[in-house]
Each structure stands twice: as structure tokens, then as C-alpha cells.
Structure 1
Amino acid sequence: MSISAAHADAFVSEALATRKVWGIRDEAGFPTSTNPSGEIAMPFWSSESRAKKITDSVSAYVGFEPTPIDLAAFIERWLPGLEKDGLRCGLNWSGERATGYDLRPSEVLARLLAAEA
């Protein structure tokens, strides 16, 4: 299993355990990034410490603050909105370039529901 796959699996288990996910935001809002395939993703993390590592070490995200999102709101409002807008969810991005899996919101929802069942 790749590091990105392990981080994506951890996203699901940790989000279900804490019942929240974490985004990052600044005065302009939540960031998006274009991946090498040309898809636009919004990053989310399963813990504040994971998000903070990125805002502390990746120059593109310095100045952003980790922001908690209730898991129910993420499932009921965020995922449908991201799907409608054609955005992907970046799960537990890590490393010096903040990379990882970018999944369709419907795929994130399916993973969450399958793990909760």
C-alpha cells in the first residue's frame, strides 16, 4: 500500500472516530489546488495536527488555519456541494508538496459509509 493510500484509509477511520474532518482557510476562504491530471481538489484532513503540519511547512498554505468541520455537515452539505461543483476531495495530503489522493466526493462518501457499516 502506498503512503497516499494509507493516508486516505486513515482519513476514513480517524474521521469516523472523531466525527469531524479538518479543512484549512484564510480570509479568502478554503483553498483548492489543481493536480497533475488537471482536476481541482479541495484538501481535507482527519485531524488538526495533520492539517497544521501542512500550514506550518508548505509555503502555499502558510497563513491558513486548520478549521474543524462536523462529519455530519461534511457528509450532508460539503460532499454534495463539492460533487455539484466538480471538485475532488484531497484526503490527508502530506509531505513537502502537500500531495495525496484526490477522490470524487461520491467516492469519499462511499468509503465513509462502508467503513461505518
Structure 2
Amino acid sequence: MNQKEFEAVIRLPANIRYEYFVKKVVDFEEIWGLYDDGWAMTSDDNGNLLLPFWPKKEFAEYCASEEWSNYNAHRISLEAFINDWLPGMQKDRHKPSIFWNRDDSAVMEIHVLLNDLEQELENY
């Protein structure tokens, strides 16, 4: 990905970045998170725990700043994300924060994200 594409995508509204995320993670069969002795987490205004995920390593690395400055981008296979991560997050009542850009993200219900991923997988 070149710098021009990176800058154009990172500035998109959260809902469009979410759509980009779904297409890219299905296309490349990988998701990126930030890890350093545990996965990067944040919370919403109601105190709900959120786990941030990105479609490409470059976007995750861009967000490894401030409180996450010691974190490194870590790959998660799409299969593990669907079969292990999402059920575990649902059990723990954590929500996915999709494609944070240091400003906002799309915070999704797990069943919505899972449905969108499965629908996109049907195109392959």
C-alpha cells in the first residue's frame, strides 16, 4: 500500500472504514491487532471493553501510539478470529472496535460483524 492510499483510507468515515475492513480481511484472510503482554483494549463511554482490530498491519502500526506505543501489530487468521476470537469476546462481553484511526472507529455487535464477514465470504 502506498502512502497516498493509506492517507485516503485512514480519513474515511468510520462506517466506510468498516466496509473496507470486512472486504480486506476476507480477501487477505487476516486481521491485525496490537499486542504487548496482552492485547490492546480500550473502553467506550459506558465502560464497555473494546478490542481494536485493523485490516492491515500498516493501520495497526499507525495506531500504536500514546498508551499503545509499546505495542506491536500482531496477525490473527480470519479462521481463528471467526471461530475463537468472536465467541470468546461474546462470552466476555467485549465488543470489537473496527479500524480505529486515532479519532473514531466502528464499534459493532459481534453478531453483526460475524454476519457481515460470512456474507462477504460467500463471494469467494
The verdict on a shared fold, with TM-score over 0.5 as the criterion, is yes
Per-residue CA deviations over 1:4-40 (Å, capped at 9, x if unaligned) read 001111110000110000010102x102111124321
Cα RMSD (Å): 1.3
- TM-score (structure 2 length as normaliser): 0.84
Does the 8 Å contact 1:87/1:104 carry over to 2?
no
The alignment of Structure 1 onto Structure 2 pairs a total of residues equal to 111
Tell me how far apart the structure 2 counterparts of residues 109 and 13 of structure 1 sit (CA, whole Å): 13
Larger radius of gyration: 2
Amino acid at match of 1:52: E
Does the 8 Å contact 1:15/1:71 carry over to 2?
yes
- Matched-pair identity in %: 23
Detail structure 1 runs of 4+ shifted over 6 Å in the superposition.
none
Whether 1:20 aligns to 2:30 is yes
Tell me how far apart the structure 2 counterparts of residues 106 and 60 of structure 1 sit (CA, whole Å): 29
Amino acid at match of 1:12: V
- Look up the match of 1:3: 13
More strand as a share of residues: 1
Secondary structure of the residue that 2:47 maps to in structure 1?
coil
- Look up the match of 1:53: 62
Amino acid at match of 1:76: N
Tell me how far apart the structure 2 counterparts of residues 49 and 60 of structure 1 sit (CA, whole Å): 18
Amino acid at match of 1:43: P
- Look up the match of 1:93: 100
- Look up the match of 2:7: none
**Alignment partner of 1:114 out of 116, 119, 122:** 119
Cα shift at 1:51: 0.2
Secondary structure of the residue that 1:8 maps to in structure 2?
helix
Amino acid at match of 2:95: R
Tell me, which stretches of 5 or more residues in structure 2 are unaligned?
1-11
Secondary structure of the residue that 2:63 maps to in structure 1?
helix
Does the 8 Å contact 1:43/1:93 carry over to 2?
yes
Tell me how far apart the structure 1 counterparts of residues 54 and 40 of structure 2 sit (CA, whole Å): 13
**Alignment partner of 1:64 out of 39, 64, 71:** 71
